[in-house]
Structure 1
Amino acid sequence: MKILNVGYIALAPFIGGSERSLQIILLEATKSKKINPILFCPAESPMYEWAKINNISTEKVALNETDSFLKVLKLRLQLVFLFRKYNIDIAHSNQVWSYPSLSLVPKLSNTKLVCHLRDPINEDIDWWLKVKADALVCVSKYIQDSLKSNYSAYNEIANIKTLINPISEHALANAKNVEESKIAARKKFSLCQSKITFGFIGQISPVKGVLEMLEMLSYCQTVDWQVIIAGHDTTKQQDYLLRCKAFATELGISKNVHFLGFLEETEDFYHSIDCVIMLSKEEPLGRVPLEAGAFSKPTIANSVGGLKEIIIHNETGILCKIDSLKNIAETIERTSLDEYDAMGINARRFVEKNASPSRYLSNLHSIYGKIIK
């Protein structure tokens, strides 16, 4: 099959899990010699500068300017023009939110359409996918099942696949000098070297269960622990972040809680911890347990959504229910550092087997090939 020109459409107002997954796809595509990737995103998106730095072709497209009919029409016509300019074979929307901008493409070009489904799905999906895609890519079986239950045209789409997000080769860190890396990372973050160290990384928002995590840790009386919280509250007022900080003080555990803010590079975060805690109330997949596994770190997670697909209970991590925070605390008190290390080794093996970027791109290329034929 010829080299495919694939246009990746990304709103990407910030770099989150969806964007990190796209970065891996773009980098792997440039190495594969099977796909020629072109990124289409807003000029103010951090993905635009990232693409330039990494020598990935990119075009500024105002995907975020949709507050009037004329702007929407201009955006859609611009995409059609650019697809013709680059001879785009496939337009791949990185999330459902940017997919409607492709509505004129089937009428005005020969470009095939792919939409990546990375977020929770409800009955609104019919509106977002009003124009039928040639293929839909789901990040988990949980998302694919939700799609089947809510999308009226599900049976009309021939290519619907589940692909677990890839983890970069760089993140699949060398296993040597693990202890040295841990010591250096803890020193960088001013952490105690001897305490069992938990970590949370991601958006600091109610759905991620950060308040619940803090309350749960306050019940851990027989474990000498500390926790680092990396990420940012994306709201202007920072209300939830402020509540978390105040709650840590109220619980009397603030000396053990370290808020790091947003981290551009996450390696030292994973090096410094013994285990990730992820008490999300809803999670389409959960990229963090895969990233943690790449660094041989297990995850304690709420048993919801796609998390159940990437964490094997008592093998690569611990699945629990956040309706009983004291029970989770009791589990932590019974778990030794050696047990965290053993689960971390298993988590690494799981990631190597299921989330390698080369395997991911091969599966994605197979999907592209089917719709081109």
Structure 2
Amino acid sequence: MRLIQVTASRGWRGHEQKIIYLYEAFRDFGYVEDQWIVCTKDSEVHKIAKEKNMQVIGLDFKSEYDLKFAKSLKRIADENKADLVFIHNSQSHTIAVLSSLFYGLKIPLVLCRTLIKRVDTNFFRKWKYNYKGIKRILCITQPVVDELKYAVKDHSKLRIVGILTDINKFKKTEKNGMLHKEFNIPSDHKIIGNVAAFTGFKDHYTWIDTVEILAKTDLKATFVLVGKGVLEDEIKAYVASKGLEDRVVFAGFRKDIPEILPEFDLFLFTSNNEPAGGVILEAYACKVPVVAANAGGIPELVMHNETGFLAEVGNAQDFADKVQTLINDKVLQEKFIKNGYQFLVDNHTKEVIAKEMIDELNDVLENHSN
């Protein structure tokens, strides 16, 4: 297979990391004859792919209706004799459809969908999900499938292929006190943390409400938030309004997550509409016990009382109760750590998910080549 992966994203979150992981896996396991990443010039994907000496082609990107980008995609596919285009975000979905519609891109298109969001809100959006050139839509969890069913007429196109984590990236599993030192956290304080962009569905408000409850107990802990986003200043103001500035650390955007995560004594994840939550798998890889919201695709990753605790969405008291129970029970922590790591190894490694992905792509080629 000669494969093009395409995204118009500029940032760096789960889906962008997935593109890099898949490129590496497809290459290392010999799943493709050749492959290219087509992306926005000077985006994070473009920069990282170049750093890793991947075959990456950066294009100027103006909007999802960028006909120049669409025309270039057709040219790149022709020049490299590509067999299939693997689409990774909504804007590149539109561009790939325009490339097919206006410039004659004839090879099969496969879309990877990672959001829990209705797409039948306008005619064009619904139409592009049913476009004849889109041969399959690979979704990361069942809730993603469920939302797409309102728009996609042919449900047989919808398949579930989970998210992946590169265990080899997370070699550190013992604490060395780096966060205690960096942020002057008292040595006798446990660290309860989260890694998430400051966006609405991550529900940092419930996270802070949970901290407020825990701060009134005898628990010696400091609470660390890693990430950035549009709501960061709003959440900082919320922390200040509750007088929690001395208990909550805003660590900002970090590229050293494999070093930071093992410093957590507990991973607290309050997201209220999470498609999956890849950072939960990273917590498993780092041997950190998890308390997470019973929302979206999270229950497909966290088996309650087996690999972690699930708490009621938006219920800060429930989160706080479960944190208190887990942080004080070493036996339970070890159970969750052991089971969580094994769940990751069995279901969500680069090896497992890359094989599932390539099987789907090969099936499309066998049944839908033009």
**TM-score relative to the length of structure 1:** 0.89
Task: Say which of 361, 364, 367 aligns to 2:360.
Answer: 367
Shift of residue 131 of structure 1?
Answer: 1.8
Residues 1:315 and 2:309 are matched in the alignment? no
Residues 1:217 and 2:211 are matched in the alignment? yes
Task: Say which of 280, 285, 290 aligns to 1:299.
Answer: 290
CA distance in 1, matches of 2:51, 2:80: 20
Shift of residue 17 of structure 1?
Answer: 1.1
- Which amino acid letter does the alignment assign opposite residue 129 of structure 1? Y
Residues 1:340 and 2:333 are matched in the alignment? yes
Q: Structure 1's 26 and 193: CA in aligned 2 closer, same or farther, altered over 3 A? A: farther
Partner residue in 1 for 2:90: 96
Shift of residue 146 of structure 1?
Answer: 1.9
Partner residue in 2 for 1:163: 161
Q: Structure 1's 258 and 153: CA in aligned 2 closer, same or farther, altered over 3 A? A: same
Q: What SS does the aligned partner of 2:268 have?
A: strand
Shift of residue 130 of structure 1?
Answer: 4.2
Residues 16-65 of structure 1, C-alpha deviations (whole Å, 9 max, x = no match) = 11111222111112212222221111113111111111111111223443
Shift of residue 126 of structure 1?
Answer: 1.4
- Which amino acid letter does the alignment assign opposite residue 115 of structure 2? D
Residues 64-96 of structure 1, C-alpha deviations (whole Å, 9 max, x = no match) = 4346xxxx3222211111100111111001123
CA distance in 1, matches of 2:322, 2:192: 14
Aligned-residue Cα RMSD (Å) equals 1.9
Residues 1:226 and 2:222 are matched in the alignment? yes
CA distance in 2, matches of 1:152, 1:94: 17
CA distance in 2, matches of 1:284, 1:64: 27
- Identity among equivalent pairs (%): 16
Partner residue in 1 for 2:126: 126
Shift of residue 252 of structure 1?
Answer: 2.4
- Which amino acid letter does the alignment assign opposite residue 120 of structure 1? I
Partner residue in 2 for 1:14: 11
Shift of residue 191 of structure 1?
Answer: 2.8
CA distance in 2, matches of 1:117, 1:224: 41
CA contact (8 A) 2:274 2:297 kept: yes
Residues 1:83 and 2:84 are matched in the alignment? no
Shift of residue 317 of structure 1?
Answer: 1.3
CA contact (8 A) 2:206 2:314 kept: no
Uncovered stretches (5+) of structure 1, i.e. residues with no partner:
none
Residues 1:48 and 2:57 are matched in the alignment? no
Shift of residue 170 of structure 1?
Answer: 2.4
Shift of residue 269 of structure 1?
Answer: 1.7
Partner residue in 1 for 2:153: 153
Residues 1:358 and 2:351 are matched in the alignment? yes
Residues 1:284 and 2:280 are matched in the alignment? no
How many residue pairs get aligned? The number is 354
CA distance in 1, matches of 2:167, 2:93: 29
CA contact (8 A) 1:171 1:295 kept: no
CA distance in 1, matches of 2:277, 2:136: 22
CA contact (8 A) 1:11 1:64 kept: no
Uncovered stretches (5+) of structure 2, i.e. residues with no partner:
none
Residues 1:192 and 2:186 are matched in the alignment? yes
Residues 293-325 of structure 1, C-alpha deviations (whole Å, 9 max, x = no match) = 111112211111100110011221111113431
Q: Structure 1's 195 and 252: CA in aligned 2 closer, same or farther, altered over 3 A? A: same
- Which amino acid letter does the alignment assign opposite residue 22 of structure 2? I
CA contact (8 A) 2:67 2:98 kept: no
- Which amino acid letter does the alignment assign opposite residue 188 of structure 2? S
Q: What SS does the aligned partner of 2:167 have?
A: coil
- Which amino acid letter does the alignment assign opposite residue 113 of structure 1? L
Shift of residue 187 of structure 1?
Answer: 2.9
Shift of residue 291 of structure 1?
Answer: 1.0
Q: What SS does the aligned partner of 1:333 have?
A: helix
CA distance in 2, matches of 1:323, 1:228: 19
CA contact (8 A) 1:93 1:115 kept: yes
CA contact (8 A) 2:2 2:83 kept: yes
Residues 170-217 of structure 1, C-alpha deviations (whole Å, 9 max, x = no match) = 234265xx2xx3434533443333222111112112221112111111
CA distance in 2, matches of 1:205, 1:197: 22
Shift of residue 337 of structure 1?
Answer: 4.9
Residues 320-340 of structure 1, C-alpha deviations (whole Å, 9 max, x = no match) = 113431232123223315133
CA distance in 2, matches of 1:282, 1:128: 24
